[in-house]
């Protein structure tokens, strides 16, 4: 049987914080427990939000925290041709159109305003920026998947989301496109990531279908929140991770993930990873949507 592949794909919009450490650890332990490889990708496709130096600091922190990956890091900003090739294929299928609708010109799902008038013909040059390019979701049907931890999920894509942006007005490729192309290129078989991306999954399933890519399994993790249930303060929690240091922060992340407490003799990141991967039991996360900081 081929070895499966998991991944962690942070956006370098700040330093490693407790929420991203928990996602990194859960995806890594999940892969190691299965005997799968675990890969790293930097999702810096949105260069407008990338913080200078953050990518290097995240990679350094992950190494310091005992994470290991067997292949070079895939960096999205260096992979633009792959996204353009995917756009070419979607354009050949007649799925792309340019959209001039301004922000706030509609509410809820995109109503398909420019679907026909803006349609890009197969060989037509695509505008490089200044106008958004959307994907026609006609006949996408209801997309369903059995989430590893959140149960059966479904979405009627055309009604619930509508034709979505695949290359942004500022010229950057949309996250939805880059993530699908990269998961395909890296041969990812199982995606473990935060619940905040749960409702993005149907858009990615639809793109996989159009691009002829195989569909990975998905397992969505509960989100780390402040003790009172409010959104995690990323700056405060990245400072906290740095202050705690690798061993203590990993123990806290395991506690948040409701995993057994490692014996006190395990006092380095490498041993903690090895022990926790053998013990990994994600069933305690089933249908859990939030993990409260102590």
Residues found near Zn ion in the complex (CB under 5 A): 99, 101, 113-114
Min. distance of Cβ 290 from Zn ion in angstroms?
A: 36
Helix (H) or strand (E) holding 22: helix 18-34
Min. distance of Cβ 75 from Zn ion in angstroms?
A: 31
CA 141, CA 158: separation in Å to the nearest integer?
Answer: 7
Of the candidates 202, 211, 157, 144, the one whose C-alpha atom is nearest the C-alpha of residue 184 is 211
CA 288, CA 98: separation in Å to the nearest integer?
Answer: 40
Neighbours of 169 (CB within 10 A): 17
For Zn ion, give the closer residue by CB, 131 or 195: 131
For Zn ion, give the closer residue by CB, 101 or 266: 101
For Zn ion, give the closer residue by CB, 29 or 114: 114
Min. distance of Cβ 121 from Zn ion in angstroms?
A: 17
Min. distance of Cβ 112 from Zn ion in angstroms?
A: 8
250 and 225 in contact (C-beta within 8 Å)?
no
Site of tokens 């109503």: 111
Min. distance of Cβ 124 from Zn ion in angstroms?
A: 17
Q: What angle do CA 233, 236, 237 make, to 5 degrees?
A: 80
For Zn ion, give the closer residue by CB, 44 or 163: 163
For Zn ion, give the closer residue by CB, 99 or 257: 99
For Zn ion, give the closer residue by CB, 99 or 143: 99
* DSSP assignments along 133-157, one per residue: EEE--TT--EEEEEETTTEEEEEEH
Min. distance of Cβ 104 from Zn ion in angstroms?
A: 12
């Amino acid at each position: 049987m081929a070895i499966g592949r998991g991944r962690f794909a942070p956006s370098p919009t700040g330093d490693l914080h407790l929420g991203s450490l928990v996602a990194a650890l859960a995806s890594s332990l999940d892969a190691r427990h299965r005997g799968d490889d675990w890969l790293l990708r930097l999702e810096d496709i949105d260069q407008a939000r990338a913080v200078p130096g953050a990518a290097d600091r995240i990679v350094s922190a992950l190494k310091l925290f005992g994470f290991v990956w067997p292949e070079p890091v895939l960096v999205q900003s260096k992979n633009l041709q792959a996204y353009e090739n995917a756009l070419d294929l979607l354009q050949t299928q007649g799925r792309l159109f340019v959209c001039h609708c301004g922000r706030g010109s509609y509410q809820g799902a995109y109503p398909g305003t420019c679907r026909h008038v803006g349609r890009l013909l197969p060989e037509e040059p695509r505008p490089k920026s200044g106008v958004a390019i959307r994907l026609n979701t006609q006949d996408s049907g209801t997309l369903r998947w059995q989430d590893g931890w959140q149960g059966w999920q479904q979405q009627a894509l055309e009604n619930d989301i509508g034709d979505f942006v695949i290359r942004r007005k500022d010229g950057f490729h949309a996250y939805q496109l880059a993530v699908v192309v990269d998961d395909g290129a890296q041969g990812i078989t199982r995606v473990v990531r935060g619940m905040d991306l749960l409702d993005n999954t149907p858009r990615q399933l639809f793109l996989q279908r159009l691009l002829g890519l195989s569909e990975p399994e998905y397992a969505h993790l509960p989100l780390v929140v402040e003790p009172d249930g409010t959104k995690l303060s990323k700056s405060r929690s990245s400072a906290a991770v740095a202050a705690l240091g690798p061993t203590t922060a990993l123990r806290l992340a395991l506690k948040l993930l409701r995993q057994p407490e490692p014996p006190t003799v395990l006092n380095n990141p490498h041993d903690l990873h090895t022990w926790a991967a053998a013990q990994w039991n994600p069933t305690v996360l089933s249908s859990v949507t939030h993990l409260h900081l102590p």
